[in-house]
Structure 1
Amino acid sequence: MLTSNITRLLPTDTSRGLTQLGLGLVLSSSAYQLSHFHFRSLCRYFFTSPPRGSTAWQLDFAPSDVSWADRTFLLVCGMVWKAVRALVVGSGLKVRKAQETVVLPRLDLTCPVEVEDGHVEMYARAVAQGGQEGVEMGGEVGAMERQFLLAAMTNQLMLLLVVHPKLPVSPLGGVNVRNRYEFHSLSSNSPTLTAHAYVGGKDDPARVVKRGNEFDIHIDILDAQQLILRQTITILTPCKTHLAPTTTSAPPPTATKQYASIGSIHMTRSSPALWCRVCGDYNPIHVSSTLAKLFGFRGKIAHGNHVVGKMLHLYASQNGGGAVGKSRWWIEMQFKRPMVLPIALDAQVGRGEGVESQQWQRVTGGDGTEEKVYVLGGIGRL
């Protein structure tokens, strides 16, 4: 009733003008998204074989250039198609009794990688602690964080491989359980790098575990022929397995590691919004509490790499690189439990197994309650 009364008070020309303005904004937004739609490149990747003389599909756009039109294509042609196919004919991945590994088809793709000043600024805002306007990106600390930014920006390649029709695993329900990043070169003068992402093959089979199948996605970033970054991303896809119950006795308890706090972070419900713009991961569990609850979580979930990025910022700013310094370095992470937002985490560092490495973990319970480890890992020189 109120709306109709307001409409009567507005001149007819004004109402028509507002309608045309709204329609124009919608059409302009749609046209912009379609202008950034990599339809031809994605169709070649999904529905044709690699170019003659090559074993890898070649995308003509960088992971940071994936648009909403591209994501819609991946959703329909990848996720929805696989979900419908699983309902009709069942999953293409069959695990026989007592089977310990499963060979996945080999998939390779290459694409350019571009890191611009805007990406660095967005990363700085995402990892900044409360009250900071930004992060100093120069010097030793900046070098480490720029490298981790490169890993975050190429995370989209994981999705491109998982949704491919030839890979017999469903992206729905898949969980990133651990990562290892190896940084082989501190910097590159090339404005455009090349990414080579691959999964499967006889030499890298999926592993059958109690909750399903684990498989590794590998992403190499190169400047010409020089290796800059090597990523190993481990994904768990739930499915029925036939593993026999173990009868071996539990291993003896290991000595408790001693950790020292290097700071804490507070992540709010709005924290994933910045990280989504850094890495392009708009998984529903990260962007909406309602959608996260539909997937069985208590609320919106933090990005695992976002938490690690904040930990790395604390570590580098306090230690100047610590055990890593200016050398080639690595970082490992294991995601133990989902981080429902909002959440406060304590960053802790302890001695690693090697002389030039350290262990780290993010925990809650600093108020005297029992500590719960959410993320843990290690960092050190290669």
Structure 2
Amino acid sequence: MNRPWLDLHSTDTRASLYLRAASKRKITGSSLPAAGLRCFIRVQPGNLAAYRKLCHFTDNGRLPGTYPHVMAFTLQLQLLTAHDFPFPLLGLVHLHNRIEALRPLGGIDGLRFSVHADNLQPHAKGGTFDLVTEAEDGLGLLWRETSRMLVRGLQLDGQPAEPANTPAHPLPEATRWYADSDIGRRYARVCGDYNPIHLSVASAKVFGFPRAIAHGMWSAAMALAALGTHVPASKYVFEVDFHKPVRLPSEVILSASEPGPAGELRLDGHAGLLHMAGRWAVR
């Protein structure tokens, strides 16, 4: 597809984008806009240091594999809150995330990001689409992320896809951590995702959650950081499916395959509650 692009000198402010998101509560169409957004975004060293500390990444001179998601977050917001985007931002549910690191993420001052929406498909609870984010440096494509988003209540023709498979065999425990009651607010301050379902009991209840829940991308980042040398430094794919949300506060247990070119992981709560399942592989 010869996709049209809108090149931006800078993104709009997050405050203005959230105001735009709050004003849209209904589905206004059933097709995705063809155009995408592009913008050059610089690394903010203070924000990067805060992200490493929050998600337990070591400072090895490379960007954490999940950090370009943070860099591109405002550009993603701008696409998802544009006047021609048919779905309300506050109703979207993040089902799946796939990250591809094509080369080592070292020596980076800034990246040229592109964001577009694609692959609208029926789902048992509505419809899904892929939010595709790519980052380029002077040598070309460096990093790609595909986030599958659920639009509840969307009616599309066709048969829903089969649900994702989870590891069928036991995996050894790698580590566990405690997601405390304010992790949603601390992640939001670093990463800019102020979805009310993550911030407090009161704001989460407005959207039908009995307690605030952890950001899925915080759980994914914590898992990637904890796996360390399990996952190669570059030329890898790391993907996760989000299942039951992590209610705050709670303890979670990360289990994973042994280090190698491919493996599986899962994040469980107590009493058999599956929060996240995923896999990694050399690309």
How high is the TM-score relative to the length of structure 2? 0.88
Counterpart for residue 113 of structure 1: 41
Conserved 8 A contact 2:43-2:108 = no
- The structure having more radius of gyration, on CA atoms, is 1
Counterpart for residue 275 of structure 2: 374
- Quick check: 1:156 aligned with 2:74? yes
Counterpart for residue 74 of structure 1: 17
What is the Cα deviation at residue 153 of structure 1? 2.7
Pick aligned residue for 1:212 from 97, 119, 126: 126
Using the alignment, how far apart are the partners of 2:148 and 2:167 within structure 1? 27
Conserved 8 A contact 1:357-1:381 = yes
SS in 2 for 1:154: helix
Are residues 166 and 372 of structure 1, via their aligned partners in 2, closer, same or farther at CA, if it must alter by over 3 Å?
same
**CA deviation digits over 1:131-158, x for unaligned, max 9?**
xxxx5312xxx63x62322223323333
- Quick check: 1:279 aligned with 2:186? no
Using the alignment, how far apart are the partners of 2:166 and 2:116 within structure 1? 36
**CA deviation digits over 1:157-198, x for unaligned, max 9?**
332211111111122311111110000111353422110111
Read off the aligned partner of 1:284 and give its amino acid letter. Answer: P
Higher helix share: 1
**RCO higher in structure (CA 8 A, sep ≥6):** 2
What is the Cα deviation at residue 55 of structure 1? 2.6
Conserved 8 A contact 1:210-1:241 = no
What is the Cα deviation at residue 284 of structure 1? 1.0
SS in 1 for 2:90: coil
- Kindly report which structure 2 residues correspond to 1:1-382, keeping only aligned pairs within 5 A, or say none: 55-61=4-10, 70-80=13-23, 82-83=24-25, 86=26, 91-94=27-30, 103-128=31-56, 136-138=58-60, 143=62, 146-200=64-118, 204=119, 206-241=120-155, 256-316=168-228, 321-322=229-230, 324-350=231-257, 356-365=261-270, 370-382=271-283
**CA deviation digits over 1:282-327, x for unaligned, max 9?**
11111222010110001111011111111112110xxxx22x3334
What is the Cα deviation at residue 243 of structure 1? 6.7
How high is the TM-score relative to the length of structure 1? 0.67
Conserved 8 A contact 2:256-2:263 = yes
What is the Cα deviation at residue 331 of structure 1? 0.5
Unpaired runs of at least 5, structure 1: 1-53, 95-102, 129-134
Using the alignment, how far apart are the partners of 1:255 and 1:194 within structure 2? 36
Using the alignment, how far apart are the partners of 1:228 and 1:73 within structure 2? 30
Using the alignment, how far apart are the partners of 1:284 and 1:245 within structure 2? 32
Between the two proteins, the alignment pairs up a number of residues equal to 279
What is the Cα deviation at residue 230 of structure 1? 0.4
SS in 2 for 1:187: coil
Read off the aligned partner of 2:266 and give its amino acid letter. Answer: Q
Are residues 93 and 254 of structure 1, via their aligned partners in 2, closer, same or farther at CA, if it must alter by over 3 Å?
closer
Conserved 8 A contact 1:176-1:236 = yes
